[in-house]
Structure 1
Amino acid sequence: MAWSVDWAVEVDGVSATEDMADYLMSITVSDKAGSASDSCRLVFDDTDGQIRLPQPGSALKVLLNQVPVFDGITDSVKASGNRNSGRSLSVSAKGFDTRGKAKEPQQLHQDDGTVGEFLTKLARKAGFTPTIDPDLGGIVRDYLAADGESFLHMGEKLARELGGTFKLRGTEAVLTKMGADYGLPLVRGLFQAGGGNVISYDIEPISTREIFKKTVVDYFDRSSGSVKREEAEAPAGPEVETVNLVRTPARDKAHAKEIAEARGREVEREGGTGRVTLDLDPTAQAEGLFSLSGARDGVDGTYRIDGVTHQANRSGGSTTDLGLKQPQDGAGQDERTA
């Protein structure tokens, strides 16, 4: 059967689309917020073992309907066979070179500097160019250290502390604020009988499992020689009474405030959750927004995209699966009279 989607693949900067046309069976691309790397998987028909075994380390770029959806490095090859269904060869790739220095332990400390300065030093030692949100990068810390921790680990650790997301793409390292608007395209979904681009939805627009009224962080105040607390309110609604006490104490008041505010942003994000499957939309990206209409009152609204998986295969199917969080614009609210 013919492909229903226009696809293209480049290997080491050279188009491989024509060479792959008779063998490529499926394409899967995943992009998850807060994860260290995007991923891609190409599956080939290897019935006669005619494909030369690919080697890790090749630059791979994938486009769907002429929109770039993946740019990374191949890192593994897997051969599968079944005497009833034949043989296949799958090539997996990550958004960065896993053989590089991203996961190499580093020894580095910094006194009286910013988070941005510290991460920039780590990034350059690991061979990455950093792009850091000014609000996060400008945070001042009296001491930061990587004691045998890799750049990858430190980036994820600081993102968790500061309420951000950290990702490695090629040779670029990106630290952004969770839920911030960076101009990503809005994805629209319409659910209706006999039409619309939404194939299915499974959404919990109100979730209370991770919701707290406020976050409390303890820290040691050197001037008074006593333990004090820093608090941050969360947009959880007046009916929520639970307080989130962070178990690990902060170093000082500023550090405690940063942690409390970051946990507050997490509470807002975890206010709802769900999944939606659409007809293929290669413009969808993690941390972008998705607007749903036609489902029902209380479910229609806008959501933060927490993860994206594009799937296409030569049997004719092509879909985009979205993981959703942070309901807004009416999602989770039904104003109708009971």
Structure 2
Amino acid sequence: MIKTPVCMISADNKPLNELISKRILSVTVTDNRANEADELSIVLDDHDGALQLPKRGVRLNCLMGFKGESLHDKGDFIVDETEWSGTPDQITIKASSANFKSNIKEAKSKSYHRKTFGAIATEIAQNHKLTLVMTAALKAITLSHIDQTNESDLNLLQRLAKQNGAEMAVKKDRLLIFTAGSAKTASGKDLPTITLTRNSGDQFRYSEQDRESDHTGVSASYQDTGKAKREKVVNGDKGKVKHLKGTFANKAEAERASAAKMAEIKRQMAKFSINLAYGLPEISTESPIKLQGYKSEVDKLKWIAEKATHNYSKSGGLTTQLDLEAENELS
């Protein structure tokens, strides 16, 4: 059965008027990895010049799905760019994740001493009127000393998340911090696995790196206060070892940082991209994906969506383009 795609846009909590909604040629939502803003692009038909250029700062919401089914909320966005082009005359509206436009991106200087990751995240969330959603294990991580020097709160959280094997995102007035590649929500719940079976209409590409040509381990230095000297920890196998810059305050922090980097390297060893002719707007970044009908070495891997692009077209239906990374190590 052929489904009818649906895309609904609202501006400042009000549905678009009929003049604008009838002129939508395409809508593209790009769901990026946590440390990047999600993006919304809308192309409007302005063949008769009847449309006015939209104002920057307008808050947009996008729902995507199919007629007769529940629509999927793809997020809130703030208009930051408009473009008028021709011929044929068209207006393109570009917007980014709403909370990425707040003062969370302003540089500041501050220090945190003997605080947990959760305490730092809670303070930042409260300062920016965000609701913190963070796994208990990440909240409990103790950090010896953190200096924030001419650095935004957003960048600080991204830095701390990366050092501790986590991802962070700001979406729909929530600060989300969760374990990278875990296929879980920030609250710790399992995300539903979506199975993709090979279809003739879908284009795909699989690639893998030669394990021998990449780093086999990651090392990190830390200050051993008892011995008054620098020590080193290694995660992974000795051989071609990548050394992290800087000196960590203690062994525990160095071990977490090296383990996080090693996990990141393993996730990047295998990549899979696919264009779905029949869109799945329910897929977002971190969604666990199961592949079926491809080569056995591809099907056996556990996959995580690192980027999802959903495109609604007045003439071409609803499609989805996915970039996946392997959750587990190649054998």
* CA 78–58 in structure 1, closer or farther in 2 if over 3 Å, else same: closer
Q: Distance in 2 between matches of 1:107 and 1:31?
A: 30
What CA distance in whole angstroms lies between the structure 2 residues aligned with 1:207 and 1:69? 39
Does the Cα contact within 8 Å between 1:115 and 1:140 map onto a contact in 2? yes
Match of 2:75 among 71, 77, 81: 71
Distance 2:32 2:61 in 1: 18
SS across alignment from 1:155:
helix
Report Cα offsets for 1:58-94 as digits up to 9, x if no partner. 3221111143242223222322323xx3111111222
| Superimposed CA distance per residue, residues 260-283 of structure 1 (whole angstroms, 9 cap, x where no aligned partner) | 111122122112012111120011
Aligned to 1:49: 49
1:332 to partner: Cα distance: 5.8
Shift of 1:211: 4.2
Name the counterpart of 1:224: 227
Q: Is the 8 A contact 1:9 1:17 kept in 2?
A: no
SS of the residue aligned with 2:202? strand
State the match for 1:215 in structure 2.
218
Which residue of structure 1 aligns with residue 205 of structure 2? 202
Q: Distance in 2 between matches of 1:264 and 1:105?
A: 30
Partner of 1:336: none
Q: CA deviation at 1:209?
A: 7.8
Q: RMSD of the alignment, in Å?
A: 2.4
**Preserved contact between residue 29 and residue 38 of structure 1 (Cα < 8 Å):** yes
3-state SS of paired residue (2:260):
helix
8 Å CA contact 2:183, 2:304 repeated in 1: no
Residues 209 and 229 (structure 1 numbering): CA distance in 2 closer, same or farther, change over 3 Å? same
Q: 1:209 to 1:20 in 2, by over 3 A?
A: farther
Instruction: Tell me if the contact between 1:43 and 1:89 (Cα under 8 Å) persists in the aligned partners.
Output: yes
Structure 2 partner of 1:237: none
CA contact (8 A) 2:54 2:82 kept: no
Note the C-alpha offset of 1:139.
0.9
Stretch deviating more after TM superposition (168-177 or 245-254): 245-254
Residues 81, 95 of structure 2: 8 Å contact kept: no
Supply the AA of the counterpart residue of 1:105.
A
Rounded to whole Å, the distance in 2 between the matches of 1:268 and 1:98 is 29
Instruction: Spell out structure 1 runs of 4+ moving beyond 6 A.
Output: none
Give the 3-state SS of the residue equivalent to 1:184 in structure 2.
coil
Question: Which moves more between the two structures, 298-307 or 40-49?
Answer: 298-307
Is 2:271 aligned against 1:273?
A: yes
- Map of 2:26 onto structure 1: 26
Counterpart contact for 2:145–2:249, Cα < 8 Å:
no
In 2 relative to 1, CA 205–242 (structure 1 residues): closer, same or farther, beyond 3 Å? same
Amino acid at match of 2:304: R
Letter in 2 for 1:25: L
Give the corresponding residue for 1:149.
151
Letter in 1 for 2:255: K
Deviation, structure 1 residue 206? 5.1
**Percent of paired sites with the same residue:** 19
- 1:205 deviates by 4.4
Q: Distance in 2 between matches of 1:17 and 1:209?
A: 58
SS of residue in 2 equivalent to 1:123 = helix
Pairing 1:1-338 to 2, within 5 Å after superposition = 4-16=4-16, 18-65=18-65, 66-82=70-86, 85-182=87-184, 183-193=190-200, 199-205=202-208, 207-208=210-211, 211-233=214-236, 241-278=239-276, 279-301=278-300, 302-326=302-326, 328=328
Q: Conserved in 2, the CA contact under 8 Å of 1:130 and 1:174?
A: yes
C-alpha contact (below 8 Å) 1:39/1:95 kept by paired residues? yes
Distance 1:111 1:327 in 2: 34
- Deviation, 1:17, is 6.9
Distance 1:209 1:290, change over 3 A: farther
Q: What corresponds to 2:187 in structure 1?
A: none
CA distance in 2, matches of 1:71, 1:162: 27
SS of the residue corresponding to residue 75 of structure 2 reads strand
